[in-house]
Amino acid sequence: MKTIDELLTEGVAGRRVFVRADLNVPLDGTTITDDGRIRAVLPTVAKLAEAGARVVVASHLGRPKGAPDPAFSLAPAAARLGELLGADVAFATDTVGDSARATVAGLTDGQVAVLENLRFNAGETSKDDAERGAFADRLAELADVYVGDGFGAVHRKHASVYDLPARLPHYAGYLIATEVGVLKKLTTDVKRPYAVVLGGAKVSDKLGVIDHLLEKADRILIGGGMVFTFLAAQGHEVGASLLQEDQIPVVKEYIERAKERGVEFVLPVDVLVAGEFPDMKAKAPAHPATVAADAIPAGQMGLDIGPESRKLYASKLADTATVFWNGPMGVFEHPDYAEGTRAVAQALIDSPAFTVVGGGDSAAAVRILGFDENAFGHISTGGGASLEYLEGKTLPGLAALEG
């Protein structure tokens, strides 16, 4: 895989460089609530602009249905990128139309433009190779060189991620090079003990990575809504908690495999429960009760790991050399159910291990709960991409850059 440093050595002054970034930031109306992904691509964009490239930044945002939708406009992200660069950033109001062509044609050396949301064109996400390829052809007309730096999208076989690199000289940006380097530390030559912390709502979302990590990890800590399928698989009552009954047989099999391989599964010993899901807007006090994890009352739902579980999880992370964390321990957006996730984040900081926060809600939790991002070994920008890499899957966007 060629990197941006090789491109810079060749020279980029006056060349149109298409940067496939991941500017898929959370928005409250037009207000960005977390600009982490924009800041992550900043080193690549800034370096190219400094070297005199005419930088064309493109990304998706949200899931519009192949047509323009103002709710998913990249205009706020373009404005924030300009603030971070300390320079004006031009904005094209379409992806490959008159505005895009005119905006790119108007760039001078060292200037940056952002195209409107790539997913406003159905060709970006089409499963039809010809339709996707036709869109990639039109994108290719806007550039001389391709730089892939949208790690959060490399697991998608989309036109700007997979097809476009085949049409232009292509290089990996700083973010992708860093992300791949980190993930290799989690899959090859891993320093042990190696612990994996998995949370989030559905166990079905994590089955693939659990299956693969049973061959690699020494310890797997489970939290979040997915934990109740594990508890049910052990024969415990889980009340009204989130439960995927159809996944219980698979979970039972994984628990048995873990025993056979000497991999320690760590489940909570207590949980916080309430009779209903908390009001996320009002953030009104929820007054949860703490109960043993194997004695959740009927009608009560588990919403976070309890105080004894926090201590247990911290102790299981204290002696590790490598930790990967993906998924919160509870409904961390509500203050009454944030302490489990906070405890895991603090345990990672306190651990001597090389710690990786696997993007998505885990990365959001780190920021929302006020932790210093620099206290972790690495915070990934791509939760789904990280998980698929750890599952051993081939990621289309990485394969395209290696081709």
C-beta separation of 281 from 339 below 8 A: no
200: phi > 0 → left, psi -120 to 50 → alpha, else beta; which? left
291 bridge partner residues: 271
C-beta separation of 139 from 166 below 8 A: no
Among 402, 399, 398, residue whose Cα is nearest residue 149: 398
68 to 19, 119, 238: CA distances (angstroms)? 21, 8, 44
User: Residues 123, 224, 330, 360: which is the catalytic one?
Assistant: 360
In the residue annotation, 127 being an active-site residue is answered as no
Tell me the two tokens of residue 3: 């990197």
In the residue annotation, 37 being an active-site residue is answered as yes
User: Residues 2, 101, 202, 257: which is the catalytic one?
Assistant: 202
Q: Which residues contact 368 (CB under 8 A, 6 or more apart)?
A: 34, 332, 333
Q: Provide the total of helices (H) and of strands (E) in the chain, helices listed first.
A: 14, 17
**CA 112, 116, 117, 122 torsion-angle sign:** negative
In the residue annotation, 191 being an active-site residue is answered as no
Tell me the two tokens of residue 274: 């309430």
User: Residues 15, 37, 219, 310: which is the catalytic one?
Assistant: 37
Please spell the DSSP secondary structure of 292-347, one letter per residue: ETT-PPTT-EEEEE-HHHHHHHHHHHTT-SEEEEES-SS-TTSGGG-HHHHHHHHH
How many beta carbons lie within 10 A of that of residue 63, not counting itself?
11
C-beta separation of 58 from 41 below 8 A: no
User: Residues 150, 306, 382, 384: which is the catalytic one?
Assistant: 384
Q: Which run of H or E residues covers position 256? A: helix 248-261
In the residue annotation, 82 being an active-site residue is answered as no
What CA–CA distance (Å, rounded) separates 242 from 199?
13
Active site residues: 37, 202, 360, 384
